[in-house]
Structure 1
């Protein structure tokens, strides 16, 4: 990697969580100029690495050096709803001093605060405009902006600081299609060092190189994510061929060892017969027996060594093939017969102004996509159906058991293990049953005993999904709010396979169109202008 003044260097870095779960051991990696996409399976340590670089975490051993200022956008953006926009951007004090000078107050402290930043307001408004936030101005409070706008606002604050190194952790989470295009443009325009963790293929296709974090080591691939996938596919084909070759060699060595043992047994039997018949002097026969035993021992050792080598080659070949386990779980009690009433919304008026006119019915195992811009009211609708929010007027009535998985995944108790959390939702299930079911969600053995607080974003989602889908009574209506946030590509495939086993009705609020297509959506609902409307698939690319 290049050794520019703005490079990031991690040397012999080790890090473990307080419960002893190791993340890195002697990690060596450096990030230079350009945009780097940091990829890897959930739990590989991507977010942890960004936090180490941002000095939000401290390594147990080794050093993390950054030459220059770091700007860090975490996965979960939480802003004080009472803050004004200019305070969130970090320019409030400069604005106050600037306005005081413009009003004729020539106090020295005002000039000290402004420094050389005389165009701070113009730059701030221009940055907000580039991110599609020009309409919110600098004096509104954060409580008036949506979750997606909060992400863009935090990014705007970072861009205004002009850091040397920009770290982005799943920046497109919660962003609608319009906001994502704005973020893509900001990423394309970035000229410093950028490291971005994302499951968004379109975003990863804007990077200059891919850093693949796997088993505590980073492998570099030139080009964007599409180029990386091509190279990786070739590597995996070669790895799978090597497994087949190694398996064939192992079978061959086993056959040769068995053949050798049979031949040696025959020789031994013949030698014993000759010894018993005493056809040669005793001293000669004894010497021949000793020589035969030595030869047999060497022969056996040679074949055993060959067999051990073949096993080692097979192990190495298997290790090179990536393990993309899929969730496979049987959920028969979630089944909903066609035509059965599942949900009725009638004259529903929600908080913050959104509404559902007339009567909306969901019947049978329908799969509904709920789409719309950030702030349109999708989450408010789901929370109202789930009973977490009171409707202003009208009715939301579920006719079957339902479960709701919110964006923030707060259905888990961080103080409990994964198994403990699932047991909360299924108190009648035995410990063995809980663990057997969890294994199908890829929490096997000690993984089921891991505390929820130590899980990665994708693991946390998988644990929350397991808790809800294995709950008693079985949910026949499952509502998911932005479920692919924080999930890597393999985890999205795992989620899709889990939902293939689910036989109830689904409502999914998401901006991830490829994912929605993959789960077999039957109806598309658009929340726009405060109203819920049914649209055709061809109209899903809602106006920009």
Structure 2
């Protein structure tokens, strides 16, 4: 098998000494590869190293062909435009200058043969469902999902030989996901995608599992990988049971051997005391017994140690992934108590109380959002419809009870501070030991709790943000969550679902992850639409 990407003994660590990759070897073949692993295993760092975004401390990376890279968080700051994100602003400027009569050589050099650059860019945006997004629109006005799709359009325009995607379905609505799946399925070159999206991972040709500092390659998609992994784990568990039985058997034999030797020493001593054998003979028997006892003891001890080593090796083959233990504040909200009343502006030209949305569904348009305890509200809607804006309005407007907001971009923590110090900033009355105990439930133990937030992976950053949110004083009675399953591995999503299902406060959750929403016991389904505003379906 020929490999398009070869990672040779690559190590990478952050300036504070936190090691992420340690002498990692990996090779990715042609076709589509899904790179998976638990949060914090180094997936995003590995992609950045391959893309040249990060320089390894040691080792080397070899890539066949030009590399395109779609990061987990597309930068939205500054005055950049969609054209800038597509990396065509220079060519557009040259084209417009030529069309305006400026025939300077530099414009023709900048444009090259790409005379249809705007038409091609427009076609890619339209293909990805972004027909409403203009080339001169500022990136800061895009939703998280729209920004991801524009960044994907940029890669489709460049057509690199190797494309790296980091959690590309984060923030995407269902229509955008379907378009992304189609683009991935049709990709003709090499593709490596980091994702927890099952539908996306079922489109790949192989799975690369980054675990315990090593990459293991499995042929087939996610379903094939899980089937093979289940068989491996079943075999590993059988091996553990066999090894445990061998340890017990060796322990019994060691005890039996010691018992026999002790009995022989007692008999020899009794024979001497009863004058049945001369002293010189007794001493010889004693010496022989001691030598024999030592040999037997060493033999059985060696066999026991070997059995224990085999057991340890067998146990290491059985996976035992750590999972977060989310414990939400136990603040009960009385049923029916009004927690929030937010007046809503009617959408321009649509004062109707009933509107028809894109899929033909008739919905009741709301002129205000009222949240009562302990409601569980799901907020749906396409990318760019204003879900995040609505959640921010709730925070700015204020509620009658303590409110906490988990933003989509996880940008509420101070990157320069440690995880511990970020939590202490929102819970000043809590002791350091109490804060560390809380963080341990989110898998930040010991030195990991002292890491600067700026060095965390996407999943780790989510855990740190959630820990800070839930540790805040006073604890929240109304939780606002914006795409909370972004960046989480599957086990963490399950843990979060279980915790939120047990939460006794009110929830407003914006998400495109319908299976996740269905686990929360949603009591109201609201839809934010570009034309109809906020409606109850």
Please, what TM-score do these two structures have when normalized by structure 2?
0.91
Query: Residue by residue, what CA displacement relative to the aligned partner does 1:515-538 show, whole Å, maximum 9, x if unpaired?
Result: 112233222111112522222xxx
1:64 partner SS: strand
Task: Please say if residues 336 and 505 of structure 1, whose CA atoms lie closer than 8 Å, have aligned partners that are also in contact.
Answer: yes
Structure 1, 396-405 or 14-23: larger mean CA deviation: 396-405
Query: Residue by residue, what CA displacement relative to the aligned partner does 1:13-71 show, whole Å, maximum 9, x if unpaired?
Result: 11111111112222111222111110000111000001101111111111112232111
Query: Residue by residue, what CA displacement relative to the aligned partner does 1:420-478 show, whole Å, maximum 9, x if unpaired?
Result: 22222222222222222222222233332333222211111112111211222221211
1:409 is matched with: 410
Question: Pairwise mapping of residues 423-442 of structure 1 onto structure 2 (< 5 A)?
Answer: 423-442=424-443
Deviation at 1:358, TM superposition (A): 3.8
Deviation at 1:330, TM superposition (A): 4.7
2:386 is matched with: 377
1:295 is matched with: 292
Distance in 2, matches of 1:29 and 1:373, equals 38
Task: Please say if residues 342 and 400 of structure 1, whose CA atoms lie closer than 8 Å, have aligned partners that are also in contact.
Answer: yes
Query: Is 1:29–2:21 an aligned residue pair?
Result: no
Structure 1 pair 340–320 and aligned structure 2 pair: CA distance change class (3 A): farther
2:457 is matched with: 456
Deviation at 1:245, TM superposition (A): 2.4
Query: Is 1:116–2:113 an aligned residue pair?
Result: yes
Specify which of 65, 69, 78 is matched with residue 68 of structure 1.
65
Distance in 1, matches of 2:15 and 2:261, equals 57
Specify which of 147, 150, 159 is matched with residue 150 of structure 1.
147
Structure 1 pair 174–331 and aligned structure 2 pair: CA distance change class (3 A): closer
Structure 1 pair 232–279 and aligned structure 2 pair: CA distance change class (3 A): same
Please, what TM-score do these two structures have when normalized by structure 1?
0.90
Distance in 1, matches of 2:201 and 2:431, equals 44
Deviation at 1:231, TM superposition (A): 1.3
Question: Pairwise mapping of residues 115-514 of structure 1 onto structure 2 (< 5 A)?
Answer: 115-328=112-325, 330-331=327-328, 333-345=330-342, 347-349=343-345, 357-387=366-396, 396-514=397-515
Specify which of 16, 21, 43 is matched with residue 19 of structure 1.
16
Distance in 2, matches of 1:59 and 1:328, equals 33
Structure 1, 437-446 or 467-476: larger mean CA deviation: 437-446
Structure 1 pair 276–419 and aligned structure 2 pair: CA distance change class (3 A): farther
Deviation at 1:103, TM superposition (A): 5.5
* Runs ≥4 residues deviating over 6 A: 350-356
1:266 partner SS: helix
Query: Residue by residue, what CA displacement relative to the aligned partner does 1:88-114 show, whole Å, maximum 9, x if unpaired?
Result: 322233233334445565543333223
1:532 is matched with: 534
Specify which of 49, 68, 72 is matched with residue 52 of structure 1.
49
Distance in 2, matches of 1:471 and 1:140, equals 37
Task: Please say if residues 41 and 491 of structure 1, whose CA atoms lie closer than 8 Å, have aligned partners that are also in contact.
Answer: no
Distance in 2, matches of 1:251 and 1:340, equals 61
